[in-house]
Structure formats: C-alpha cells, structure tokens
Chain A
C-alpha cells in the first residue's frame, strides 16, 4: 500500500494544522547547544537535528501535579478530588524511543490502581513520531532492547524523512487514522512500502555495533552481589539526572502542602538514586550506598519490571549514557552483564 508524502518544509504548517484543532502543541526546538521538547514553541523553530535532552514524559506525567485538595473543618478533614489537568495534545516529531516509552509504562499506571492522571493525558495525546533515519546520537541503543530507529511502538502516526525534501507518512493507530484529512491537505506524492523498508534497514544498520541484551535478566538474577557494582558505580554521585531524563523512570513522591488549615496533595518526580528514597523512619536504609542504589536502577529496568510486566523498562534512548555527569554509562553496564552471561561468568 503506498503512503502519502509531504514536503519537509510543510512540517511546521502541519504541526499548526494538528494543533489548530484545540490541541496544545509540543515539539523539539533548539536552546543553546541542545534540543528540548517544549510546549507552545514556535513551529517554525522545529529542529530535527538530534534527539532532545528531555523526554516526552513530562507531558503525560508532569514533574509536579495536584492530586487532591483538603481542608480542616473542626475535627474533620474535607477531601476534594481534583480532575486531571489533561488537555488535548499533539506531540509532534517525538523520537521513536520516546513514543515507545508509553506502552512500556502503561501497565504500571494500570496495575492495581488505574491512574486517571496518566490515563487521561494518554487518552488525549496524539503522538506523531519522526523516525530516525540513522541513530542521531552515539548514545543510542534502541536496537538492543528490541526496538529500532523506525519503531512505531506507541506512535499514532509515523513520519519518515525519506530524503532531504520529502517526508512519508504512515497512519499507525485508529487515533492517527482519524487525522487522515489533516495530513491529506499537505499531500505531494507517494512512497512505496519498499521505500520505508529501505529506510528502516538503514536505521538498523547504523546501530549494528550495539549488542542484544537478551541475557541480562538471567545474569542479574545470579549476580546481585558482584564486584561489578562497586567498580562501575563507585563514580555515581547520585545526581538523579539519569532517572529524571529517562522516559520510562516513573517514581514519584507524595507531598502535602498547606497554608493554615487548607492545602493540597502533590505528586512530584522522585528517583531511586537518592539516599532518602529508601530511608526508613527507623533510620535504617536498605540501600545505604550509591552502588546499591545504582544496582537497583539496573535491576528495576532489566529484571524486576520485565518479570512483573513482561517489558524492559528501557527504550535505549541513551539519555542516561549521554548526560550522566560522570559518564557512568548504563549501556556499558548492561553490555558487560550480557558479555559475562555469554561467557558463562
């Protein structure tokens, strides 16, 4: 089946047309040397030269959100539910590893409790993904976790920059197909299935040097105590950058903030790299050193979450590799685990 194509120069207008239907618009723009997904940015500033530093997580799971309000009244507390502040949204030109994080975390937000805050935002978000022709950064390793530079997991629409001036469109989900008319207005030509397959192949080849990580889970299960943890994670300063930039890390903290006798309950980002994260009221801390906290991050992503939900809690976006201030590369650590598993160590 042929796919419609558009002119690359029409992408900003397409973004506006999608947003024009009352959606908030999120797209990648340049700030200094780096790209960031920003809400309300000028579509003319759309920048596709690399992968943004932040992930799309903050648009579905904001860093700070109100989940209820309360007021003391005599001896009673009156609790008021608050509705999620969810708005129709289009995330325009998400990267495949960001889009793919959504189906990874969905089971978490719908496990024993259905989180209406995430779910309503997810419901109202249209994800238009810009496939990577070749891996945009040295840190990328999506292929190692079963994804690829042109993966459509979690995407409603896929855009493929097949050449300098042309972008092919594939409507993936029913939500994406509903937008057919908007895309059709910009139609300039057609691209074949083969053209898209060739595109995908080029992307995969650009990451041919990355290892599969299929043996990591088994290795971890046997190596909770191993010199690897201190050797690698000695350098970790517990800065939380890796967890906060990660599209799949989802830990949060609950805070009550009140002024006199009324206040609200907030859900804020939190992370397992902080010493306070597991500190008990007794003073005991089961993860009392940084290597133990770092090990936890790897276990959660590559052993515990897969065990519980059948998915790796990592899309290989490489942010924790690229932005760790001490260059403690998660890929290195899991690739070492894979290697040792292959050697039977």
Chain B
C-alpha cells in the first residue's frame, strides 16, 4: 500500500510541476478513526498529502462536476477501478471532457467500511486492476471471477411476496429524512437542479412522510437505472442506513437481463435507457 502512496505522490508532483494539470484530487489522511478524506492539491510540494490505503472509500469523481474542479482546464484525479466506472458514465453523458481529466489509476484489493466490513462491491469486484487510465500505479490485482455474486443479496427480496416487499420498503423508506446525502454523494446524480428541488410545479413532495419518501427514493433509483455503477457512495452516506444498494442492484440486474448492458464499462457504448434505435425489441408492447 505505502508503495502505491509513494508512486501516487510522485506522479502527482510531476503533473503539477510540469503543468500537465492545475490540481489533483486525491485522498489524504483523515482525522477520525482511520478515515481518509478527499483533498485538492494545487502545488507540487503538497503532493505529499496524498495517500492510498483500504480506507480510501470516497468516490472522488463526484468532485469533477463541482466547483472549483469543474471550471479547471485540466485536473488529475486519483481513482480506484470502481471510481473509474463512474467517470465512464460521466463521459458517456458528456458531463466531463476526456481531455480535461488525467486519470491516475490505482490497483486495489478492496476497501473497508467504517464498521470494518468489506463492501459487497469489493467482494465481487471486476476492476481491481483498472483498464481505463492515463497512468497506473500498483501491482496487478486479480478480480473475482464471478462479479454477479453481488446480486446474491437480492435473493431475500426475490423470496418476498409483492405485499411483503412493499412493507419491507415502506418500513425502510419511512426512515428517510430527505437530507439528499444519497444524491449528493452520487457521482452520477448530475442534474444541476434535481427534480426534488423543482417547485414550479412541485413534482416530488419534499416532506419526509411515507408518500414523499416513496416518490423521492423511486425517482432517484429510476433515474439511475442503467446508469448506476454500484459504487455504493449513496448507501455509505445515508445517515439513517437505508439499504439503497438493494434498489440499485435490483435495477442493475434488470437492465442486464433486458439489455445485456452493464454501466461503467465502455465509454463508447450508450446506456440503453438514453438511446432509441428503430430496431429495438418492441415485443413487450401489447
């Protein structure tokens, strides 16, 4: 791990010194427990703040669509394979210009959550060694041969009757306090003004009552269908512990079944729910 830290610093220092990039977004040591924290490094001498370890959980791509990074001519970003999936999503949707980003990829054996457990995305990771980057650091790391293992958790939802599933979600979504941490943490929630914030007319009730919470959480999930790259940032941020990844993975599995498509893989392919082809399968229309 420390080897990767050294190399990240070295590359970042070089990029900053020779003017390749204006700044580098990476992780630095946090101050609470073992946490790491996002950092924006602008000067070569500050490159030593950067590091990589198994507590670098944040998906830094979310900063590409925010100030001040959004306005920069060219920016470097340190990224794990799963973070790069969201960059691919941003490129597909023309949210980021490829020439403006320098990807400093890092190979990864998996991260740990705050509670010490290993996230499902890491248990079933297929991008431990990234393939899309400008520069890569770290030894090659083998991936799980069965990435669909991540859908295992959905079996408990599948086993429920529709009524049971409805009450399961009612109970979970009742907890929602409408902080929108899920949206803010998501690298692919790209609307500069979310539909939940539009009030002329008000499409989604902003009140955290059961009806409002259902509307919000379903809108969020649907807008990410076929776009969510399963980075788990939303679920990690949710302060009331709603299992948002169950919703997201159910969507991902459906999209995979219907369109044989997985988000975040190929920047040249368009997500199915954003495209229309005359020869699309229409057989489901009565």
Q: Give A residues with C-beta under 8 Å from B.
A: 31-34, 53-54, 63-64, 138-139, 230, 234-235, 237-241, 243-245, 253, 255, 257, 266, 268-269, 271, 274, 276, 289-290, 321-323, 325-329, 331-332
Judged by a CB distance under 8 angstroms, whether B236 is at the interface is yes
Cross-interface CB contact of A239 among B68, B206, B237, cutoff 8 Å: B237
Contact assessment for B208 and A63 in the assembled complex, using a CB-CB cutoff below 8 Å: yes
Contact assessment for A325 and B58 in the assembled complex, using a CB-CB cutoff below 8 Å: yes
Whole-angstrom CA separation of A99 from B236 in the bound complex? 28
Map CB proximity to A onto B218-229 as digits: 1 under 8 Å, 0 otherwise.
000000000000
A-B contact pairs, 7 of them (CB 8 A): A53-B241, A237-B237, A245-B239, A323-B239, A325-B233, A326-B38, A328-B37
Task: Report chain A residues within 8 Å CB of B209.
Answer: 64, 266
Judged by a CB distance under 8 angstroms, whether B178 is at the interface is yes
Judged by a CB distance under 8 angstroms, whether B47 is at the interface is no
Whole-angstrom CA separation of A328 from B185 in the bound complex? 14
Whole-angstrom CA separation of A237 from B183 in the bound complex? 10
Whole-angstrom CA separation of A266 from B212 in the bound complex? 12
Judged by a CB distance under 8 angstroms, whether B32 is at the interface is yes
A-B contact count (CB 8 A): 102
With both beta carbons as reference points, the residue of chain A lying nearest to B180 in the complex is identified as A240
A244 touching B239 in the complex, CB below 8 Å, given contacts A239-B185, A327-B32: yes
Judged by a CB distance under 8 angstroms, whether B31 is at the interface is yes
Whole-angstrom CA separation of A238 from B185 in the bound complex? 9
Closest 7 CB pairs of A and B: A239-B181, A327-B30, A240-B179, A327-B37, A33-B115, A239-B184, A325-B237
Whole-angstrom CA separation of A328 from B28 in the bound complex? 12
CB of A261, distance to nearest CB on chain B (Å) = 17
Whole-angstrom CA separation of A64 from B177 in the bound complex? 9
Cross-interface CB contact of A63 among B177, B197, B241, cutoff 8 Å: B177
CB of A162, distance to nearest CB on chain B (Å) = 29
CB of B181, distance to nearest CB on chain A (Å) = 4
Contact assessment for B206 and A253 in the assembled complex, using a CB-CB cutoff below 8 Å: yes
Contact assessment for A276 and B32 in the assembled complex, using a CB-CB cutoff below 8 Å: no
With both beta carbons as reference points, the residue of chain A lying nearest to B30 in the complex is identified as A327
Whole-angstrom CA separation of A332 from B39 in the bound complex? 15
Task: Report chain A residues within 8 Å CB of B66.
Answer: 237, 290
A53 touching B239 in the complex, CB below 8 Å, given contacts A139-B32, A241-B179: yes
* B residues 188-217 touching A (CB-CB < 8 Å): 197, 205-209, 212
Judged by a CB distance under 8 angstroms, whether B62 is at the interface is yes
Task: Report chain B residues within 8 Å CB of A138.
Answer: 32-33
Task: Report chain A residues within 8 Å CB of B239.
Answer: 53, 241, 244-245, 323
A326 touching B37 in the complex, CB below 8 Å, given contacts A253-B206, A268-B208, A269-B177: yes
From A235, A253, A266, residue with most partner B Cβ within 10 Å: A235
A274 touching B37 in the complex, CB below 8 Å, given contacts A32-B241, A64-B208: no
A290 touching B67 in the complex, CB below 8 Å, given contacts A34-B241, A325-B236: yes
Task: Report chain B residues within 8 Å CB of A266.
Answer: 207, 209
CB of B66, distance to nearest CB on chain A (Å) = 7
Task: Report chain B residues within 8 Å CB of A239.
Answer: 179-181, 184-185, 237
Cross-interface CB contact of B207 among A31, A230, A241, A268, cutoff 8 Å: A268
From A34, A138, A271, A326, residue with most partner B Cβ within 10 Å: A326
Contact assessment for A329 and B38 in the assembled complex, using a CB-CB cutoff below 8 Å: no
Cross-interface CB contact of B31 among A53, A276, A329, cutoff 8 Å: A329
Whole-angstrom CA separation of A31 from B237 in the bound complex? 17
CB of B272, distance to nearest CB on chain A (Å) = 28
Judged by a CB distance under 8 angstroms, whether B75 is at the interface is no
From B32, B33, B38, B68, residue with most partner A Cβ within 10 Å: B32
Task: Report chain B residues within 8 Å CB of A243.
Answer: 179
Contact assessment for A235 and B32 in the assembled complex, using a CB-CB cutoff below 8 Å: no
Task: Report chain A residues within 8 Å CB of B179.
Answer: 239-241, 243-244, 269, 271
Cross-interface CB contact of A238 among B115, B184, B207, B240, cutoff 8 Å: B184
CB of A97, distance to nearest CB on chain B (Å) = 16
From B66, B208, B239, residue with most partner A Cβ within 10 Å: B239
A237 touching B184 in the complex, CB below 8 Å, given contacts A64-B209, A326-B38: yes
Whole-angstrom CA separation of A316 from B32 in the bound complex? 14
Task: Report chain A residues within 8 Å CB of B67.
Answer: 289-290
CB of B184, distance to nearest CB on chain A (Å) = 4
CB of A328, distance to nearest CB on chain B (Å) = 7
Judged by a CB distance under 8 angstroms, whether B255 is at the interface is no
Whole-angstrom CA separation of A257 from B32 in the bound complex? 41
Contact assessment for A325 and B208 in the assembled complex, using a CB-CB cutoff below 8 Å: no
Contact assessment for A268 and B184 in the assembled complex, using a CB-CB cutoff below 8 Å: no
Contact assessment for A237 and B32 in the assembled complex, using a CB-CB cutoff below 8 Å: no
Cross-interface CB contact of B241 among A31, A255, A322, A326, cutoff 8 Å: A31
CB of B222, distance to nearest CB on chain A (Å) = 21
Task: Report chain A residues within 8 Å CB of B184.
Answer: 237-240
From B63, B184, B209, residue with most partner A Cβ within 10 Å: B184
A321 touching B32 in the complex, CB below 8 Å, given contacts A241-B181, A326-B38: yes
Contact assessment for B207 and A255 in the assembled complex, using a CB-CB cutoff below 8 Å: yes
Whole-angstrom CA separation of A243 from B36 in the bound complex? 21
Judged by a CB distance under 8 angstroms, whether B35 is at the interface is yes
Contact assessment for B38 and A235 in the assembled complex, using a CB-CB cutoff below 8 Å: yes
